[in-house]
Chain A
Amino acid sequence: GIQVEQSPPDLILQEGANSTLRCNFSDSVNNLQWFHQNPWGQLINLFYIPSGTKQNGRLSATTVATERYSLLYISSSQTTDSGVYFCAVATGTASKLTFGTGTRLQVTL
């Protein structure tokens, strides 16, 4: 099956700093979603981005499908950005999502 790798596994930032999270995948995808999982376990949709670039406030994402990677940018980080960020992909006619191992982000004051 498809492999999804995320880096870095852990990230500690001071409030106000910027960061880039990376997701590499091993096959062509027709679905790619970025999620933020808060400390209570809720998976919050950030982006549906199988290709191209999108922005939503301080967050933006870019997927280069031909090179099989996606990037999530967080600017001017806030303590509420803390949590685990997951990239998840689906391939072919299958709609099941395969998740990466996540990036654990901690934003400190």
Chain B
Amino acid sequence: DAGVTQSPTHLIKTRGQQVTLRCSPKSGHDTVSWYQQALGQGPQFIFQYYEEEERQRGNFPDRFSGHQFPNYSSELNVNALLLGDSALYLCASSLGDFQYFGAGTRLSVL
């Protein structure tokens, strides 16, 4: 049983560009959450998707958007990248309360 898979593992972009990160949840999980982890800090909640709808959102600007597909996989899109968007982006899937995390995508914005 594959766990939560994220792609790509690493990504380098320049300021102003747009990026799309992908997440496949653990088999049987219907809820996907995205977190941003800056260097030296704990992960911060971005948003959560359930039944293809954004169910909850953290304190992130509208430049951060997402999507969930009928097979429960999800994408995180970030527009107009800023240097401060450089971070590890983590996807978590769940069926109920217990959340399982993927290995993350490390985004560097130059």
Chain A interface residues (CB < 8 Å from chain B): 30-31, 33, 35, 40-43, 45, 48, 50, 86, 88, 90, 94-102
The one of A40, A88, A95 that contacts B31, using a Cβ cutoff of 8 Å: A95
Q: Which residue of B lies closest to A48 (CB)?
A: B98
Chain B interface residues (CB < 8 Å from chain A): 31, 33, 35, 37, 41-45, 48, 56, 58, 88, 90, 92, 94, 97-101, 103-104, 106
Q: How far is the CA of A98 from the CA of B46 in the complex (A)?
A: 11
Q: Are B48 and A33 in contact (CB under 8 A)?
A: no
Q: Are B42 and A102 in contact (CB under 8 A)?
A: yes
Q: Are B94 and A95 in contact (CB under 8 A)?
A: yes
Q: Are A42 and B101 in contact (CB under 8 A)?
A: yes
The one of A31, A40, A100 that contacts B97, using a Cβ cutoff of 8 Å: A31
CB contacts (< 8 Å) of A102 on chain B: these are 42
